[in-house]
Amino acid sequence: MKELKVPVTERRRLTRNSIYSFIYESESPPSKHEIAQKLGLSLPTVHQNITELLNAGLIQVGKVQKSTGGRRAIGYSIVSDIKFAVGISITADKVHFLASDLKQSELAYKQIAIGSLKMNEIGARVAGDLETFLNENRLDRSRMLGVGITLPAVLDEEKDEVKLSPTMQMRNISLSTIREPIPYTTYIENDGTSGGFAEWFGSRNTVGNNIAYLYLENGVGGAVLINGAQYYGKNRRSGEFGHMCVEPGGLLCSCGKRGCLEAYCSALRISTKIGVSIEEFFDGLKQGNREYRLLWEDLLEHLAIGINNIHMMLDCDVVLGGFLSQYLEPYLPELKRMVEQKDTFEDGSEYLRLGRYPRKANMMGVAWCYIKKYIESV
């Protein structure tokens, strides 16, 4: 395997990258002729770049295409396991690890209970558990693009700190306490922002470029993506939908304010109010438990208010994610009717849908940021 050479000019690099990206995005292995035709390139140019990519081990010969008369064309696909990235989700009492290859396939996953740790203990604990995770799954560190970490927190990029994390009870804590014990390139991002990127990146060929992502877990967050790029806002607080007011003077939120969407629509509300697990709650809901039904109707009502507000402000598709969303499918028609009743301008709610990755979107998203950059760098 030869090392991929840096082209003499940026134009040549962009040509090579357009060919690699086209192969990467193609649903089936394209032939040289198809690549040349779709990208408007000459066959000699395509042949030269395909040869370089093959020699570097970045692509491989895929399945032979059907013949239309004459020699059957050879298709090409990327080598997906040549690189991988790790996504880590840190919550108040658990750490989740996920490894993903270049085609967004899960290579390994692990959940670890960490109990109640102080902030200055989390970094060392995560660093040690990461090494165990890599060893247990025989993941080659030389192929690792980097480590992405998500936190349920508002992050201050300029000060490199956690500005506020109500669910983890943190405020103004340096991110270096997490990053420094980890001996690899490490990127830290908000969990909702990462989940939104995963939903867009994983569905980029089937959804619009603009989405609002509403992340429903023990806390409520989200993300706004414009033309496929994350919109962070002036203070990196864009998408903090959980702290919009949906009931003035209402339930007390973990942030200290009253009436926030998070106070009404988080999974934590269910477990705190009823004192049962999420699975037990939805089992009881199916069996007709009246107390559970009243709580669920109130949750849906306030969720519909939040969704309508988001759509009114941003006028784009709204995607529901987070582990609570995996239980929403049977109740989606009911939720859509509630949303439609509140909408001033539209008769339907086709803009509202459930996400593809209810459980692991944040880890996928923060890992896929490395993958996206790698694809763009070839």
Q: What is the pLDDT of residues 222-240, one digit of tens each?
A: 999 988 788 988 888 899 9
Least confident of 2-6, 120-124, 210-214: 2-6
Model confidence pLDDT, tens digit, residues 272-303: 888 899 999 999 999 999 999 999 999 999 99
Work out the end-to-end distance of the chain between its first and last CA atoms, rounded to an integer number of angstroms.
Answer: 16
Rounded to the nearest angstrom, the gap between the alpha carbon of residue 49 and the centroid of all alpha carbons in its chain is 32
Model confidence pLDDT, tens digit, residues 124-170: 999 999 999 999 999 999 999 999 999 988 888 888 888 888 878 88
Average pLDDT, integer, range 58-80: 78
Model confidence pLDDT, tens digit, residues 324-358: 999 999 999 999 999 999 999 877 889 999 999 88
Model confidence pLDDT, tens digit, residues 159-195: 888 888 887 888 888 899 999 999 999 999 999 999 9
- What b/e string do you get for 271-292 counting C-beta neighbours within 10 Å, with b at 16 or more? eeebeeebeebbebbeeebeeb
Whether the per-residue pLDDT at 71 is higher than 70: the answer is no
Nearest CA-CA partner of 244 in 235, 234, 255: 255
Domains 82-194+359-375 and 203-354 share a fold: yes
What are the C-alpha distances in Å from 40 to residues 10, 19, 21, 45, 74? 18, 11, 14, 10, 19
Spatial strand order of the sheet with 161-165 comes to 154-156, 161-165, 170-174
- Give pTM, 2 decimals: 0.86
Whether domain 82-194+359-375 has CATH 3.40.50.300: the reply is no
- Confidence class for position 2, pLDDT limits 50, 70, 90: low
- Confidence class for position 368, pLDDT limits 50, 70, 90: very high
Both tokens assigned to 82? 């040549």
Class at the top of the CATH hierarchy for domain 8-76: mainly alpha
Q: What is the DSSP letter of 325?
A: G
Both tokens assigned to 363? 């880890």
Least confident of 66-70, 169-173, 259-263: 66-70
- What angle is formed at CA 170 by the lines to CA 245 and CA 113, rounded to 5 degrees? 105
Domain boundaries 203-354, corresponding CATH code: 3.30.420.40
Nearest CA-CA partner of 316 in 325, 307, 328, 324: 307
Give domain limits for the chain: 8-76, 82-194+359-375, 203-354
